[in-house]
Amino acid sequence: MPEVSLLEPLFQKAIAIFRDAIRAFADSDFELARTLKSRDKELDALTTDLGERLVVRATENPESVPSYLDLIFVSRALERVGDHATNIAEDSFWRDQAADIRHTHQATEI
């Protein structure tokens, strides 16, 4: 199924966020940790966009609906990688700066 390639940008972004979260934690790099929330929002947007694109394709190609659903579930799992990585970054920031930034809404705050 050629649509599998649509997951590549999500995969690349999720892995990059995860690697940077681990690096921020291991190196006590609170400035790097601060950047991850906005990057996770970008991953969220990519996930939403892919889901919408796959729904359109599913309506055009009903026999492939199970495969499209599988791709949507995989994209959601990749999005969760970004969420968990952001949690690591928030914990790292807390450890290093004694500031709770978990429920902030501005991308500049983490």
Domains of the chain, each with CATH number or no CATH = 2-100 (1.20.58.220)
Q: In the 8-state DSSP scheme, what is residue 102?
A: T
CA distance 7 to 66: 16
More confident site: 108 or 39: 39
- The whole-model pTM stands at 0.82
Residue-wise pLDDT for 59-101, tens only, equals 999 999 999 999 999 999 999 999 999 999 888 877 666 555 5
Long-range contacts of 23-29 (CB under 8 A, 24+ apart): 24/88, 24/89, 24/92, 25/88, 25/89, 25/91, 25/92, 25/95, 28/92, 28/95, 28/96, 29/92
